[in-house]
């Protein structure tokens, strides 16, 4: 069964430092996609970054990068040069490419607090 695990309920980071948010997943499929979303206190879900299971290079989007280790089934999000506005809940999610309907399976989330 598909499963996403985020083991860090809460994280603190100093402004301007880098932080890694952990995500491990479990799937028996070879083709899948991994996503990270940010949910600030205002409540909306903001797409950050995507990694396909066949992508050979780690995805990057501005200050966000995804440390994809396929053999270990991990897809950690790295935020460089943290800003106060990065304080939010972060969700890792997975979608199996061939599953019916394309549903996302979410992890429990990690609440990140950036300290000034």
Partner 1 sequence: DTAVSQTPKYLVTQMGNDKSIKCEQNLGHDTMYWYKQDSKKFLKIMFSYNNKELIINETVPNRFSPKSPDKAHLNLHINSLELGDSAVYFCASSQRDRGIAGASTDTQYFGPGTRLTVL
Binding of partner 1 at residue 69 (CB under 8 A)? Answer: no
- Structural contact between residues 45 and 39, judged by C-beta atoms closer than 8 angstroms: yes
Q: In angstroms, what is the C-alpha Rg of the chain?
A: 14
- Which of 3, 26, 47, 60 binds partner 1 (CB under 8 A)? It is 47
Number of residues that bind partner 1 (CB under 8 A): 31
Binding of partner 1 at residue 102 (CB under 8 A)? Answer: yes
Q: Considering only CA atoms, which of 49, 48, 47, 71 is closest in space to residue 58?
A: 49
Binding of partner 1 at residue 106 (CB under 8 A)? Answer: yes
Q: Which is nearer to partner 1, 13 or 92 (CB)?
A: 92
């Amino acid at each position: 069964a598909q499963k996403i695990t985020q083991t860090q309920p809460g994280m603190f980071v100093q402004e301007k430092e880098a932080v890694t948010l952990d995500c491990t997943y479990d799937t028996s499929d070879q083709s899948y996609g991994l996503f990270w979303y940010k949910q600030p206190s205002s409540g909306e879900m903001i797409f950050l970054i995507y990694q396909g299971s066949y992508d050979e290079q780690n995805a990057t989007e501005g200050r966000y990068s995804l440390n994809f280790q396929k053999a270990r089934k991990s897809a950690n999000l790295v935020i460089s040069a943290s800003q106060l506005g990065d304080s939010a809940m972060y969700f890792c999610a997975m979608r199996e490419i061939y599953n019916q309907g394309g549903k996302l399976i979410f992890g429990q989330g990690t609440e990140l607090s950036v300290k000034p």
